[in-house]
Amino acid sequence: MISLKKHNQGFTIVELLIVIVVIGILALLVITTYSGIQQKARNSKRQADMNSVQTQLEAYFQNSGYYPSRADMNDGTWLSTNMKSLDQNALVDPSNATQSKTLLAAAAAKSYAYAPLNSSDASCEADDTTCAKYTLTATFEGTVNGASTAVKTNLD
């Protein structure tokens, strides 16, 4: 026999609220995880950039007997002439894509720093042929192995 009663089918407000809360929690977990992965990727790129620049600086030193000044490193023409193998994008922090390819004098967030010095630990910007050492720095997002910056120095 067929029942003539109408059955209301659907979800109650409580059931809908539970589903919305669960979806919200899952979305929050996904966003947090994705953000952490992006941060780790940018930090890895910073380390790779530092290694690449250090390799090019050491090659330049072997050929010329001194390290370039910061003014030289910030001059695109000088770089393309003297460090042909250096990808100039390696001078730009990955979280600051709109930044020019400019190395700063001191470490700062979202920028790379290059500090060339003479053998007396003084600036060699006035005479780059006296640059005997350097410090190259990148600031991490958070910490990597307990460090907040990546620092590369000349290989004595």
Please report whether residue 35 resides in a domain.
Answer: no
- Look up the domain containing 76 and give its range: 44-153
CB 112 within 8 A of CB 91: yes
CB 114 within 8 A of CB 73: yes
Please report whether residue 65 resides in a domain.
Answer: yes
Please report whether residue 68 resides in a domain.
Answer: yes
Identify the DSSP state of 123: B
pLDDT, tens only, 127-140:
988 999 999 999 99
pLDDT, tens only, 28-66:
998 888 878 888 999 999 999 999 999 999 999 999 999
Please report whether residue 8 resides in a domain.
Answer: no
pLDDT, tens only, 86-95:
888 888 899 8
* Cross-strand partners of 134: 116
Number of domains the chain contains: 1
Q: Give the predicted TM-score (pTM) of the model.
A: 0.77
Residue 71: how many other CB atoms lie within 10 Å: 13
Element (H, E) at 151: strand 147-153
Please report whether residue 96 resides in a domain.
Answer: yes
Please report whether residue 14 resides in a domain.
Answer: no
Please report whether residue 2 resides in a domain.
Answer: no
Please report whether residue 86 resides in a domain.
Answer: yes
